[in-house]
Structure formats: C-alpha cells, structure tokens
Chains A and B, each alone.
Chain A
Amino acid sequence: MGIVACRRCTKAQPLGTQTCPRCGHVLQSREPLSLQRVWAFWVLGLMCYIPANIYPMLKTRTLFKVEESTIIGGAVDIAHYGNYGIAAIILIASVVIPLGKFWAVAFLAISVKQRYKVTNHRRQILYEVVEYIGRWSMIDIFVVAILSALVQLKTLASINPGVASIFFALSVIFTMLSAQAFDSRLIWDAEAKDGGPARDER
C-alpha cells in the first residue's frame, strides 16, 4: 500500500513513519493487539457488572426502616409508585444498554475474524452507536451521587450509596475502554481482502 495514515489528524505518511509529524500521534497501520485489548477490558467489565447487580445500589433509611435496593429492585419500586417513565430510563440505562454493549462489542470483535452477512456499513453504525451510547450508563452513578448528597435529613430520612455503585462505575469505565480499544479499520479490512468493492478515490 505504501502509506500509513494518522488516525488523529487524517494526514497520510510514507509507510514506516513512526510518529505523525503534524500531531505527534504514534502511527500504526492497524493497532497491534487491538482485539486482545478489547477482550481484556470486555471481560473486566463483565466481571464488574455481575456484583453491580447482586449488591445493593442504594441504602435508604427512613424513620422506621432501613431498605437496601439493587438496581433492578429500585426500578421495580419506582414502577410500583407509578413512575413508569423513570423506571424505564433506569432499566434502559443500567440494564439494557450495558448488556447490549457487551453483546455489540463481542459481535464486532468476532465479526472481524469470522464472516457474517452483516454489511460493513451496518457494523460501522453499530460501532458508532456503542461508542456514543456507552457513556450514558454512567447516569445511574450520578443519580446515586445526587440522592446521597441531597437526602441527608438527620433522623427523618437518609440515602447512602451501596457497594454496587463502585462495581457499576468500574463496569462502565471498562466497557468504554473496551470499545475505544477496537480499531474500526478492522471492520473494513475483511472486505478489502475479499477483493470486494474497490477502495474508492475521489
């Protein structure tokens, strides 16, 4: 091919150039160990996600009782009070998005090695969605933070964060790192190898 591109500033350099003269980014034709790093962070994320769902996320103390609720338990409670919208937001942000992200990253990482009947463009969109939406899982941590700071009403009521919050935050961070480690150029390599549609120039 003869050239290597800078992923940060899009400038082309002769193959073998070590760092980009424009922005100083390290140049790699493809990130080495990209998939290994993806899987390492993926496993760490999943390992943190399990205790995040088992242990309590919030400890609510009111006048007569102390209540500990997990992520799913908390959402169910809210639904009982009739706030279906908020319950849905919490379930989507803390259950649907994380699980969907585990599936999507795994699918992308497998699909660059194995062949699937999913077009590259679809996979590219999937990757962009994962990168964009992954951060939003952090919302649950922020809710816990706000509630714990705000609801400190001496004897009347207090809310404190549970152990699960730390696991949940770690899980979100690890899955974000996993998605970032994925070199999206790998998606398009399979096609070039097959001699599919030629690389278009303009």
Chain B
Amino acid sequence: MKDVVSSELDVELDGLIVCPTCDATYRFEKPANGERAVCQRCHKVLIAPRRNAGLHIIAVALAVFFLIIGAAFFPFLTIDAAGNRNAVSILDAALAFSGGPMIFLSLATAALIIFVPLARVILTMYVLVPVVLDRPPARHAIRAFRLSEAMRPWSMAEIFAIGCAVALVKVADLAHVGFGPAFWMFGVLVVLVVAQDSFMCKWSVWNSLEHPKAKRS
C-alpha cells in the first residue's frame, strides 16, 4: 500500500484487491478454477472460483426453494401418548410463542428458520440466473446480492435442525414421537443450505455483476 504513488492510483486501483478483514492490499491475480487466493496476513479466503459454480448454486437454490415451502406446511413431527395425538408443522413450531410480547418471538423464529432462508434463495436466483445465461445483470441485482449477503448470519435452518434432535430426546420418555414428511425434507434442506454457502465465491459474483460477460471462464 505504501508503495503506490498517488499519480499512479487511477491505473493501479483496478489491479488491487484489499482484504476486507485486515485491510492488507494485494496485486490482483485471478486464481484458476478450484484454486484459492488467501490473505497471507489473516488467512481469509479472498477468491475461490469454481467451474460452473453459478449453475450448481442455481440448481441447489431451486431445490431449497421447494423444500422450504414443502417443509413449512407438511406435518413435521407427530406425538402420541395415551390416545392423545398432535401433529405439528414447522410453521406451528415457529408460532408456538403466543400471547403478549411472545408474538415478537414467534415472528423472529418464523423469520430465522423459514423467511430469511427463503428470501436468500430467491435473491440468489434473481442475481445469478442472468449472469449464468450471459445476459446483462438483472435490475437492482447489486442491491439484491448485498441484501442476501447481509442476511447470511440470520439464516438459521441448520440450528433449528439440531434443536429438533434435542427436543426429541426431551420428549422421548414422555410420549411416542413420529416423523412426518416435512422432517425428512428439512434434513435434506439443511445439507443443501450448507453446501450452497460453500459453493459461493462472493468475489466472482461481484466481478461478474460489474463486468457482465467479461473475465468468465
């Protein structure tokens, strides 16, 4: 960073990449597919392009979209004890907090396990489909991708899945618990959500939004 003289700045800037975590500056060099560019100071992965990553992400996103909708409405768990039966969907679980200020908790839970993951999937498809088809980016694609990235820590489907396991053990000796179709959908969903986040190279997306059709491989 110190080496750059200000008169050269305009020419140089495009050739620089700055680590968002520690502010170290590097001369830009695109790694080959499957390779990774890692910050030498703080070891953050800066660029990690993959072949056909866009296509994979879209396919996974489509699957996640239908799984979320299915998992939200189909029965999720059933409980059976001395003739009393109760079947709940994930939406029921999210809305279990009722009465007074508990409503807030219901809304928050529903958002964290259903609406935020759903919104991220829709935004991802909106941003990536034109890019993969070599079309100019969709309108507001940049804002959409920013929003999707900002929501990332608030998407908690995988945590809910572990929560299910804990809850099942808690009631196992109280009653007989059965699994509905949504339970299995949700299991697949969690695996896909985690896989999708590891496919995505943020830098590649930003780059393709800035230079449509350019520098693609």
Using an 8 Å CB-CB cutoff, how does the interface string of A117-152 with B read, 1 for contact, 0 for none? 000110010000001000110111111111111111
Using an 8 Å CB-CB cutoff, how does the interface string of B108-145 with A read, 1 for contact, 0 for none? 11001100000000000000000000000000001101
Chain B residue at smallest Cβ distance from A30: B23
Chain A residue at smallest Cβ distance from B211: A22
Please measure, in the bound complex, the distance between the C-alpha atom of A199 and the C-alpha atom of B3, giving whole angstroms: 10
Asked whether B192 is an interface residue with its Cβ less than 8 Å from the other chain, the reply is: no
Please measure, in the bound complex, the distance between the C-alpha atom of A173 and the C-alpha atom of B94, giving whole angstroms: 17
In the complex the two chains form, is A138's CB within 8 Å of B24's CB?
A: no
Asked whether B101 is an interface residue with its Cβ less than 8 Å from the other chain, the reply is: yes
Please measure, in the bound complex, the distance between the C-alpha atom of A135 and the C-alpha atom of B156, giving whole angstroms: 8
* Most chain A CB inside 10 Å of its own CB: which residue of B3, B77, B97, B209: B97
Asked whether B214 is an interface residue with its Cβ less than 8 Å from the other chain, the reply is: no
Please measure, in the bound complex, the distance between the C-alpha atom of A185 and the C-alpha atom of B51, giving whole angstroms: 31
Chain B residue at smallest Cβ distance from A5: B18
Complex interface: chain B residues within 8 A of A78 (CB): 170
In the complex the two chains form, is A10's CB within 8 Å of B166's CB?
A: no
In the complex the two chains form, is B1's CB within 8 Å of A3's CB?
A: yes
Complex interface: chain A residues within 8 A of B198 (CB): none
In the complex the two chains form, is A149's CB within 8 Å of B93's CB?
A: yes
In the complex the two chains form, is B42's CB within 8 Å of A142's CB?
A: no
Please measure, in the bound complex, the distance between the C-alpha atom of A161 and the C-alpha atom of B210, giving whole angstroms: 48
Complex interface: chain B residues within 8 A of A150 (CB): 77, 79, 86, 88, 93, 167, 171, 177
CB distance from B36 to the nearest CB of A (A): 14
Using an 8 Å CB-CB cutoff, how does the interface string of B72-87 with A read, 1 for contact, 0 for none? 0000010101101010
In the complex the two chains form, is A145's CB within 8 Å of B109's CB?
A: yes
Contacts A124-B21, A147-B171 given: A141-B146 contact, CB under 8 Å? no
Please measure, in the bound complex, the distance between the C-alpha atom of A122 and the C-alpha atom of B27, giving whole angstroms: 26
In the complex the two chains form, is A139's CB within 8 Å of B163's CB?
A: yes
A149 interface neighbour in B3, B88, B145, Cβ under 8 Å: B88
In the complex the two chains form, is A86's CB within 8 Å of B166's CB?
A: yes
Complex interface: chain A residues within 8 A of B19 (CB): 5, 10
In the complex the two chains form, is B169's CB within 8 Å of A83's CB?
A: yes
The stretch of B9-17, B53-61, B62-70 that contacts the partner chain:
B9-17
CB distance from B200 to the nearest CB of A (A): 13
B21 interface neighbour in A83, A136, A148, A184, Cβ under 8 Å: A184
Complex interface: chain B residues within 8 A of A55 (CB): none
Complex interface: chain A residues within 8 A of B112 (CB): 138
Asked whether A23 is an interface residue with its Cβ less than 8 Å from the other chain, the reply is: yes
Please measure, in the bound complex, the distance between the C-alpha atom of A56 and the C-alpha atom of B192, giving whole angstroms: 36
Asked whether A35 is an interface residue with its Cβ less than 8 Å from the other chain, the reply is: no
Query: Could you tell me which residues of chain B, from 145 to 194, have a CB within 8 Å of some CB in chain A?
Result: 145-146, 149, 153, 156, 159-160, 162-164, 166-167, 169-171, 173-175, 177
Please measure, in the bound complex, the distance between the C-alpha atom of A122 and the C-alpha atom of B113, giving whole angstroms: 32
Contacts A25-B146, A180-B153, A199-B24 given: A142-B109 contact, CB under 8 Å? yes
Residues of A near any B CB (own CB < 8 A): 1-3, 5-14, 22-25, 78, 81, 83, 86, 89-90, 120-121, 124, 131, 135-136, 138-154, 156-157, 161, 165-166, 169, 173, 176, 180, 184-185, 187-188, 198-202
A-B contact pairs, 16 of them (CB 8 A): A1-B2, A3-B25, A5-B18, A10-B46, A12-B13, A81-B173, A86-B166, A89-B166, A124-B22, A135-B153, A146-B88, A146-B93, A152-B86, A154-B84, A166-B97, A202-B29
Given contacts A3-B4, A11-B13, A124-B42, 18 further A-B contacts (CB under 8 A): A2-B6, A5-B19, A5-B23, A10-B206, A11-B206, A24-B146, A78-B170, A124-B22, A141-B163, A142-B156, A143-B170, A146-B88, A146-B163, A157-B81, A176-B153, A185-B23, A202-B26, A202-B29
